[in-house]
Amino acid sequence: MKKQVSFSTRGQRADIGDLTIYRILPNRYAQAVGPFVFLDHIAPKVHDEDAPRMKTGTGAHPHRGIATLTYLLQGEDEHFDSAGHHAKVTSGGIQWMKAGNGIIHDENLNPDPQEDSRTTHSLQFWVNLPSRNKVEAPEYLAIQAEDVPQKALDQNRGWIKVIAGKYGEMVSQIPSYSEQFIYHLHLEAGQTFSLDTTPAQEYAAFLLESNSVLNDTPYHAGEFLEFDRQEGIIELTNPSAEAIDVILFGGEHYQEPIVAEGPFVMNSKAEIAEAYRDFFNGKYGQIVYPD
């Protein structure tokens, strides 16, 4: 039996500077999917050859109560934060930061110096932490592309990467505070992939740049879909003459209250007020940028 699609929608524009960004989650239908309370699609951008490289980021800002996960499809992403972490990842890599009880971070997005396309393209998720983890100290991981688990599908159908969670014997380095998964599926022309699901877990799909057929229904590039909670499989078919890429994600339903405001996601309005108060009182520290 195949799962049913509960709804489909498109992201709303949320541009920063000259970056075209689509806010996929939250949306008018869903506040969260599993532990994921936020998803931005930073659309592909081709940078001029004579454009200067960013050096200090898009703008320092605070977070509390979540972990941010940036999956870099193309480009180079440089991370800075007030806990002293600084690193770069390139195409296919992941930046993960647990904000915990408060941190300020900044990122800059440049073309990958090892690629000729001069294209940047990425996804950013926010993972809602359980209340016990919202009060912990910040942490950070930079994972390069070669350390992201990947497996070829049989019969040359494509491949699957495990960005978070696990798939079969593959396990991501990204910490899990509840059941969660993010898969990047690359499916060759005319091929089909099926995913067995776990009852009561929440599942969603985001079609990056190509049309696809999910459980016998065609959907278009840029669409976000959430599936029902019934048992069943998710079947994806590539109807085009070229390979497609689809992001599948979800996990265990978040059991605590969700109160989100600006860059903070907590469990009550009082905790949101405390998050702002601590930020304005300088408790999150400051970023010291490298020379």
Give the pairing type, strands 212-214 and 259-261.
unpaired
The half-sphere exposure of 157 on its side-chain side, counting CA atoms within 13 A, is 15
Question: How far is it, in rounded angstroms, from Cα 222 to Cα 228?
Answer: 20
d(CA 71, CA 107): 13
Is 169 annotated to bind a ligand? Reply is no
136 is in an annotated binding site: no
Return phi, psi of residue 146, to 5°: -70, -15
Single-letter residue type at 162: V
On whether 47 is known to bind a ligand per the annotation, the reply is: no
Distances (CA, A) of 181 to 4, 171, 196, 197, 275: 19, 10, 13, 12, 28
Amino acid of residue 130: P
161, 107 Cβ separation under 8 angstroms: no
If one counts every other C-beta atom within 10 angstroms of the C-beta of residue 52, the result is 8
CA 265, CA 259: separation in Å to the nearest integer? 6
Q: What does the block give as tokens for 96?
A: 């993960």
The encoded tokens of residue 136 equal 């912990």
- Beta pairing, strands 180-187 & 212-214: unpaired
User: Has 85 been labeled as part of a binding site?
Assistant: no
Please give the helix or strand (H or E) that residue 36 lies within, else none. Answer: strand 36-46
Contact 34, 251 (CB under 8 A): yes
**Binding site: what residues are annotated?**
61, 63, 105, 107
**Binding site for Fe cation: what residues are annotated?**
61, 63, 105, 107
